Amino acid sequence: MVAPRPAPLAVVETDDSSKRRQILDGARAVFMDLGFDGASMGEIARAAGVSKGTLYVYFADKNRLFEAIVQQECLEQGKAVFNFDTGRDTATTLSEFGRAFIQVLCRPEGGSSLRTVMAIAERMPEVGRRFYDDVIAMTIGRFAAYLDSRCAEGELAIDDTTLAASQFMEMCKATLFLPYIFQAAAAPSSEQIAYAVDSATRVFLAAYAVKRS
């Protein structure tokens, strides 16, 4: 007798996780609107549609709540998929990575989160460090590993691939990130991103590509 095949497992969101997400959504809106110092637990409770008592069941204080939001932001940015397939043309990989990186960094809904993290990093350095390690440093490390592979194949000549990875990413940000993060300009358009990234790619390859005779 063959046992019936069990039904596939489904992820069911519990009331607890749903309530926690509801609180985080409300808190994010308050932090973005009022900043860390201006936000109060009472205001966050109202925005989330819960009582202060319920809020304190999930988060002991404003610091813990903000840390949870940063952790969630790290997870969201960590979902970004960068194609570092070594079988592709290097120039194409650089160009596509640069575009994807700027789109994630300067996405319209992400600026307020970045500004809040940057503003609070001096007071809560562990939060800033966690964001840097889990988002920025991780991306640099993955990109540097790709550059290592291109050097091993003789396509690039780079003494310090971690430095080179950071250089390329900073060049891609040129004219785009600072105006965006300081709210001097809106999130860059795809045309603006392409213009900056294509220039960064040309400069990078001029410096590091192995010249073929």
Domain CATH code at residue 31? 1.10.10.60
Which tops the pLDDT comparison, 156 or 35?
A: 156
Instruction: Tell me the mean pLDDT in the region 181-192.
Output: 95
Average pLDDT value for residue range 148-177: 97
Residue 103 and residue 24 in one domain: no
Q: Give one DSSP letter per residue of 112-180, joined into a string.
A: HHHHHHHHHTTTSHHHHHHHIIIIIIHHHHHHHHHHHHHHHTTSB--S-HHHHHHHHHHHHHTTTHHHH
Q: What is the CATH number of the domain that holds 201?
A: 1.10.357.10
Same domain, 97 and 169: yes
Residues 82 and 50 in one domain: no
Q: State residue 156 phi and psi, 5-degree precision.
A: -125, 155
The total domain count for the chain is 2
Confidence class of residue 31 from pLDDT cuts 50, 70 and 90?
confident
- At 8 the pLDDT is 42
Q: Out of 2-11, 81-90, 132-141, 158-167, give the one with best mean pLDDT.
A: 158-167
Whole-angstrom Cα distance, residue 112 to residue 31? 9
Residue-averaged pLDDT of the chain: 87
Q: Which domain holds residue 43?
A: 15-60
- Give the Cα separation of 32 and 178 in Å (integer): 18
Q: How confident is the model at residue 17 (pLDDT cuts 50, 70, 90)?
A: confident
AA identity, residue 31 = F
Is 7 a domain residue?
A: no
The rounded percent of the chain whose pLDDT value lies above 90 is 54
Integer Cα distance of 70 and 128 in angstroms: 9
Residues 91-97, mean pLDDT to the nearest whole number:
97
191 lies in a domain? yes
Do 133 and 166 lie in one domain? The reply is: yes
Say what the pTM is: 0.77
pLDDT band at 193 (very low <50, low <70, confident <90, very high): very high
9 has pLDDT over 80:
no
Mean pLDDT over residues 62-91, rounded?
82
Same domain, 120 and 155: yes
Work out the average pLDDT over 118-136: 86
The answer to whether residues 98 and 50 belong to one domain is: no
- Max avg pLDDT among 3-17, 28-42, 47-61, 64-78: 47-61
Q: In this structure, is residue 159 part of a structural domain?
A: yes
Q: Does a structural domain hold residue 10? A: no
Do residues 69 and 51 lie in contact, with contact meaning Cβ atoms separated by under 8 Å? no
- Pair 30, 99 in one domain: no
Q: Can you tell me the distance from the alpha carbon of 90 to that of 101, in angstroms, rounded to the nearest whole number?
A: 16
